[in-house]
A and B are shown apart, each in its own frame.
Chain A
Amino acid sequence: MKSMEKLVSFLGRIVGNPEEIEGPKRYDVIRRNISILMLLITIIPLVSMALINYAQYQSTLRREIVEPMKVLVNKAKNSLELFLTNRLAILRFVASAYSYDELADEKNLQRIFRALRQEFEGFIDLGLIDPKGIQISYAGPYSLKGQDYSEQPWFEHVQVNGAYVSDVFLGFRKIPHIAIAVQHSDGSGRAPWIVRATIDTKRFDQIISSMGIQPECDAFITNKEGVLQTDSKFYGKVFDRPPGILPPLTYEPFVTERVDSNGNSVVVAYAYSNRSDFVLMFVKPTASVLRAWYTLKGELIFVFVIGVLVIVIAVLKLTSVMVNRMKISDERRELAFREMQHSHKLSSIGRLAAGVAHEINNPMAIVNEKAGLMRDLIELNPDFPQREKFLALIQAIVQAVDRCRTITHRLLGFARRMDVEIEVLNVNDVLTETVGFLEKEALHRNIKLTMNLAPDLPRISSDRGQLQQVFLNILNNAFAAVNDNGSVSVTTWDHDPDYIGVSIQDDGVGMSEDTMKHIFEPFFTTKKGTGTGLGLSITYGIVKKLGGDIAVKSKLGKGTRFVVYLPKRREKGGETSNG
């Protein structure tokens, strides 16, 4: 668990902390991190499982393939040894059953030889050799009597070991055969003599064919020098010497893999004979040995790849869905927060404005009355010096007070939200009336005024006068924004179950992002000197009070679109106080 945490924090450090990254890149980082982590968590166990399975299957399969080969080759070796032991035993029997003199008598020997040939296959000849290595008597197809073997290595061998089995060799009849010999001493003081026989190697071929090997495999016998003692399917005829095939000497049957003289990778099972120089070999091409393994490996890899693919796709999809949801909820939260902040800001500005308006109103009322009194006094006195000039000055004061009064009035209107008179009305009608106020200006400035009013717009409960003010404020802004020959379009629709929509769009100068942030705040104006900066804040206040909402979209140089949403049904307990 600890190490997992460490791993996670380590990964975290590698990929960077998303909390420190701002903007949409943040979600890319989160997405990447989650994907990497999930992929690691899912794929690491999968890979280790696959590797363990791979290794286990491989060793199991190998054992299952290799063991039978070993058993088979061992069995064949045992058969071979049994055969050789048996033939040596026969010779020993002959040597001990008959005396030297009996065997030296060639007639006797011929008889024994005939009996042997009848009972035991493979005997080609039989001979007696005296201790000096001279062939004393001989029964067989050749005339070898008197032959001197004393200089031959096998003679020495049999004198040392008591028995001898030769490699395969071709006799005069070009039949491969082996010679076997045993030494015997009858205890009469005569030096030990030797009985020697030759046997053909048909029996070898029988042993090999009894192994019942598959066609793509090969089995044969070699001597310890690697010379073939039987025909081989792959490596030539008897007496050939295929390079590199002979495995090192072992006392147990053994299986090894090597590359043979033909360049093929093969599995070789072999057994060294303990009683002779023969090595029994069983060769199987690796490809055929491991065919089952390769098939299994292919399936394993296929399943693994498909599994990884599925995991990767699932992880990526899941991460994407998750991060998108996170992003949406973040955005919603941020939007709600910003809206709350905005309305909070507006309401505190509104309270401040109301306070300021009240405080200013009273002194303004005094100024107004004082100026009024001055005018009264001057008007009552026809002889007042510079009467006209003073009257004009007083008029200017009263006008200035009037202007202040307008501002404070609007401020209070914004802050306190004037009374609402609710009636059931058609917003299309209100719009048409309101647009009527501006038709002259539109005509004069050649502004194209388009009305796209939804004919089936439901009637709603709202305040006609205040809606007019809302639309007039927005339309005034639109007219101020467009150049002569510009266009303003008014659209209404009914797509939402609870709200109807009104949009007023112009192709005027538009607003910057910064301006858009502030347009609903009181005293914010772009019409320097001519605007009070209250129009849209009042509009905002009215729309909110009517239970609706207002949104604006704008691009500098492209135009502005105001959208007003008005509720179809008026909620009970809405703000109607006018305190």
Chain B
Amino acid sequence: MDDWTVLLVDDEKEFASTLAERLNLRGLRCETAYSGEEAIEAMAKNPAQVVVLDLMMPGMSGLAVLEVLRQRHPDARIILLTGMGSVSDGVKGMKMGAFDYLMKPVEIDSLMQTIREAMQKQK
């Protein structure tokens, strides 16, 4: 499990990099992508097992990215981050095959917990 990679996709660079660093501190290998396109590219090069995907991004939307990733990387477990009040997008994502969704702002501990669950589910 330790060799697994987590890809964190969020257009807010400071947020994504900081969160990635905190996840790294907690023993995960965490990469970042700052847009949907970047995320798809990164997955093509070096596929991650767990993707934490923000649904609200400029350019390619989170749900569009989800759709692409579900096709190209059916094994990858995708956790969605939804903005406040957009529960319906989360539900939609779940129906499209996402593993879970979390409401932003997210507590680091609950994110860790969900990632762990995703990893265990893999096996």
Provide the residues of chain A in CB contact with B12, threshold 8 Å: 362, 365-366
Q: Are B86 and A579 in contact (CB under 8 A)?
A: yes
Closest B residue to A380 using CB positions: B25
Q: Which of B15, B21, B26 contacts A365 (CB 8 A)?
A: B15
Does B44 make an interface contact (CB < 8 A)? no
The docked-state distance in angstroms from the alpha carbon of A365 to that of B104 is: 8
The docked-state distance in angstroms from the alpha carbon of A380 to that of B22 is: 11
Q: Which of A362, A380, A418 has the most CB of B within 10 A?
A: A362
Provide the residues of chain A in CB contact with B83, threshold 8 Å: 358, 361
- Per-position 1/0 for B1-37, Cβ under 8 A of A: 0000000000010110011011001100000000000
Closest chain-B Cβ to A334's Cβ sits at a distance in Å of 35
Could you tell me the dominant secondary structure of chain B's interface residues?
A: helix
Q: Are A373 and B22 in contact (CB under 8 A)?
A: yes
Q: Are A361 and B84 in contact (CB under 8 A)?
A: yes
Does A266 make an interface contact (CB < 8 A)? no
Provide the residues of chain A in CB contact with B71, threshold 8 Å: none
User: With A362-B15, A366-B12, A366-B15 in contact, is A372–B108 under 8 Å at CB?
Assistant: yes
Does B59 make an interface contact (CB < 8 A)? no
Closest B residue to A354 using CB positions: B85
The docked-state distance in angstroms from the alpha carbon of A361 to that of B84 is: 9
Q: Are B108 and A405 in contact (CB under 8 A)?
A: no
Provide the residues of chain B in CB contact with A373, threshold 8 Å: 18, 21-22, 25
The docked-state distance in angstroms from the alpha carbon of A373 to that of B85 is: 26
Provide the residues of chain A in CB contact with B18, threshold 8 Å: 366, 369-370, 372-373
Provide the residues of chain B in CB contact with A377, threshold 8 Å: 25
The docked-state distance in angstroms from the alpha carbon of A269 to that of B104 is: 120
Could you tell me the dominant secondary structure of chain A's interface residues?
A: helix
Q: Which chain A residues (362-376) contact chain B, with CB distance < 8 Å?
A: 362, 364-366, 368-370, 372-373, 376
Provide the residues of chain A in CB contact with B26, threshold 8 Å: 376
Provide the residues of chain B in CB contact with A295, threshold 8 Å: none
The docked-state distance in angstroms from the alpha carbon of A365 to that of B82 is: 13
Provide the residues of chain A in CB contact with B87, threshold 8 Å: 418-419, 578
Closest B residue to A370 using CB positions: B18
Closest chain-A Cβ to B49's Cβ sits at a distance in Å of 23
Closest chain-A Cβ to B91's Cβ sits at a distance in Å of 9
Q: Which of B15, B18, B85, B104 has the most CB of A within 10 A?
A: B85
Provide the residues of chain B in CB contact with A368, threshold 8 Å: 105
Q: Are B105 and A405 in contact (CB under 8 A)?
A: yes
Q: Which of A369, A376, A408, A412 has the most CB of B within 10 A?
A: A369
Closest B residue to A409 using CB positions: B84
Closest chain-B Cβ to A126's Cβ sits at a distance in Å of 145
Provide the residues of chain A in CB contact with B105, threshold 8 Å: 361, 364-365, 368, 401, 405
Q: Are B19 and A376 in contact (CB under 8 A)?
A: no
Provide the residues of chain B in CB contact with A409, threshold 8 Å: 84
Does A416 make an interface contact (CB < 8 A)? yes
Q: Are B25 and A376 in contact (CB under 8 A)?
A: yes
The docked-state distance in angstroms from the alpha carbon of A244 to that of B106 is: 126
- Per-position 1/0 for A514-558, Cβ under 8 A of B: 000000000000000000000000000000000000000000000
Closest chain-A Cβ to B27's Cβ sits at a distance in Å of 12
Closest chain-A Cβ to B67's Cβ sits at a distance in Å of 19
Provide the residues of chain B in CB contact with A247, threshold 8 Å: none
Closest chain-A Cβ to B92's Cβ sits at a distance in Å of 11
Provide the residues of chain A in CB contact with B14, threshold 8 Å: 366, 369-370
Does A413 make an interface contact (CB < 8 A)? yes
Provide the residues of chain B in CB contact with A361, threshold 8 Å: 83-84, 104-105
Closest chain-B Cβ to A370's Cβ sits at a distance in Å of 6
The docked-state distance in angstroms from the alpha carbon of A204 to that of B88 is: 129
Q: Are A579 and B88 in contact (CB under 8 A)?
A: yes
**In the complex, given contacts A362-B12, A365-B12, A373-B21, what are 7 additional A-B residue pairs having Cβ atoms less than 8 angstroms apart?**
A358-B83, A365-B105, A366-B12, A366-B15, A373-B18, A416-B85, A578-B86
